[in-house]
């Protein structure tokens, strides 16, 4: 009898251990390689309708995102989101669990189906002067505040819920609510309403780390035959100087390719940060990469403080 009880207890312990390990395996920390491969094979036709609100000097960035995607098979799916506060989840019209575990939001298989699915999420992410994907910069010359993103290599999921892996590309439609005296620049050319809500047309398919925007009280200079350039307010006089105009012309000549409205560059003190349009547009990739390699683009600047911002568009 005692042996029977002991055997039964051992079986129960084994079942409990198997159940526990299986439950833990459902929510891994990060995205293991095998899970990333499975997710990329099962998910396609991804679309993000992303809205963010920038209200300085607050570090909170409230937002919402509608994610549409197609599934080959209706299996449990993980969305990436870490470091933020998840407020609500609606999966195909049904309220989901408002919880992120180990940087993932679980979309149950029972709530999904083969083909098109829609997930709506409300959240609050965070900005800061360093260590965040949304960077706050205070101009020491005049006290103005600027905001820009740095999602490379895997920090887009700190800014908004997404499938944060390079081989799951999506089309992005961005809306940003900004202060009335701010301008906002992103991957596509935006338009603003009377309430300074900036709306940007849908992009071509992008990996999440190439989505980018910069916002602040920029001043711009437009000259015939030259690209429009945006500057920090405190640097406007310098931007209008003859010396800087010569610098701009030399940089444009060095690029060895024409610059049009949706191909944007940001110029920092010691490097250039390329927005993704120059990278994913057919026919541009090779020339853009050569230009970036020559001018040390897309690498961390030596100093955190940009002397000026320039969006060539």
* pLDDT 10s digits, 162-195: 999 999 999 999 999 999 999 999 999 888 887 8
Q: Do 201 and 264 reside in the same domain of the chain? A: no
Nearest C-alpha neighbor of 178 from the set 151, 136, 141, 217: 217
Decide if 39 is inside a domain: yes
Same domain, 228 and 289: yes
Question: Hunting for tokens 């349009």 — which residue is that?
Answer: 277
In a domain, 22, yes or no: no
Same-domain pairing of 131 and 187: yes
170 in Cβ contact with 48 (< 8 Å): yes
Task: Say whether pLDDT at 149 is over 70.
Answer: yes
Residues 201 and 229 in one domain: no
The pLDDT of residue 302 is 34
Confidence bin at 151 (pLDDT 50/70/90): very high
15 lies in a domain? no
Whichever domain contains 61, its CATH number is 2.60.40.1730
Specify the pairing of strand 100-101 against strand 104-107.
Answer: antiparallel
Q: Which residue has the higher pLDDT, 218 or 43?
A: 43
DSSP SS3 for 69? strand
The residue with tokens 């940060």 is 273
- Whole-angstrom CA distances from 133 to 104, 145, 218, 240 are 17, 16, 21, 32
Residue 3 lies in a domain: no
Domain-located, residue 306:
no
pLDDT at 220: 84
Question: CA 121 to CA 60: how far, in whole Å?
Answer: 16
Taking a C-beta distance cutoff of 8 angstroms, is the pair 159, 124 a contact? no
What's the CA gap between 47 and 183, in Å, rounded? 25
- pLDDT value of position 12: 53
Residue 77 lies in a domain: yes
Of 194, 216, 238, which marks where a domain is finished? 216
Q: Are 245 and 201 in a shared domain? A: no
Q: How confident is the model at residue 65 (pLDDT cuts 50, 70, 90)?
A: very high
Domain-ending residue, one of 182, 198, 216: 216
Collapsing DSSP states into helix, strand and coil, what is residue 9? helix
Shared-domain flag, residues 210 and 145: yes
Question: Looking at 7-21, 83-97, 102-116, 234-248, which range is the least confident one?
Answer: 7-21
pLDDT value for 284: 39
Residues 39 and 161 in one domain: yes
Q: Are residues 202 and 241 in the same domain?
A: no
**By C-alpha distance, which of 151, 148, 207, 204 is closest to 176?**
148
pLDDT more than 70, % of the chain = 67
Indicate the range of 4-13, 19-28, 173-182 predicted with least confidence: 19-28
* Domain tally, the chain: 2
Mean pLDDT calculated for residue range 250-264: 40
Angle (deg, nearest 10), helices 242-255 and 285-295:
130
Joined together, the tokens standing for residue 3 give: 């042996």
Looking at the structure, tell me whether residues 148 and 224 fall in a common domain.
no
Are 270 and 224 in the same domain? yes
* φ, ψ (nearest 5 deg) of residue 229: -125, 135
Confidence of residue 262 (pLDDT cuts 50, 70, 90): very low
Domain span at residue 229? 219-295
- The mean pLDDT value for 291-308 works out to 39
pLDDT at 130 over 50: yes
> 96 and 157: one domain?
yes
Same domain, 137 and 251: no
Give the end of a domain, one of 196, 216, 236.
216
User: What is the pLDDT at residue 1?
Assistant: 47
């Amino acid at each position: 009898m005692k042996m029977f009880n002991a055997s039964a207890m051992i079986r129960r312990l084994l079942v409990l251990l198997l159940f526990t390990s299986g439950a833990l395996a459902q929510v891994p920390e990060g995205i293991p390689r095998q899970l990333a491969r499975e997710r990329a094979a099962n998910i396609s036709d991804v679309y993000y309708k992303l809205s963010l609100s920038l209200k300085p000097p607050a570090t909170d960035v409230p937002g919402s995102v509608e994610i549409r995607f197609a599934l080959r098979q209706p299996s449990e799916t993980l969305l990436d989101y870490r470091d933020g506060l998840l407020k609500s989840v609606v999966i195909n019209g049904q309220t989901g669990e408002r919880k992120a575990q180990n940087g993932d939001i679980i979309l149950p298989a029972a709530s999904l189906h083969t083909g098109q699915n829609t997930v709506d999420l409300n959240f609050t992410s965070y900005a800061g002067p360093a260590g965040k994907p949304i960077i706050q910069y205070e101009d020491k010359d005049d006290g103005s505040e600027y905001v820009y993103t740095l999602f490379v290599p895997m920090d887009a999921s700190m800014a908004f819920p997404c499938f944060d892996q390079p081989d799951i590309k999506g089309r992005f439609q961005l809306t940003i609510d900004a202060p009335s005296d701010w301008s906002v620049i992103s991957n596509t050319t935006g338009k603003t309403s009377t309430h300074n809500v900036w709306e940007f047309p849908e992009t071509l398919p992008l990996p999440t780390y190439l989505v980018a925007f910069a916002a602040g009280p920029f001043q711009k200079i437009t000259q015939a035959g030259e690209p429009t350039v945006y500057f920090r307010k405190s640097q406007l006089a310098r931007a209008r100087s003859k010396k800087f105009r010569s610098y701009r012309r030399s940089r444009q000549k060095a690029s060895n390719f024409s610059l049009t409205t949706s191909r944007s560059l940001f110029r920092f003190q010691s490097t250039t940060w390329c927005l993704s349009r120059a990278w994913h547009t057919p026919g541009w990739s090779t020339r853009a990469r050569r230009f970036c390699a020559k001018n040390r683009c897309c690498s961390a600047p030596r100093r955190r403080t940009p002397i000026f911002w320039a969006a060539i568009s």
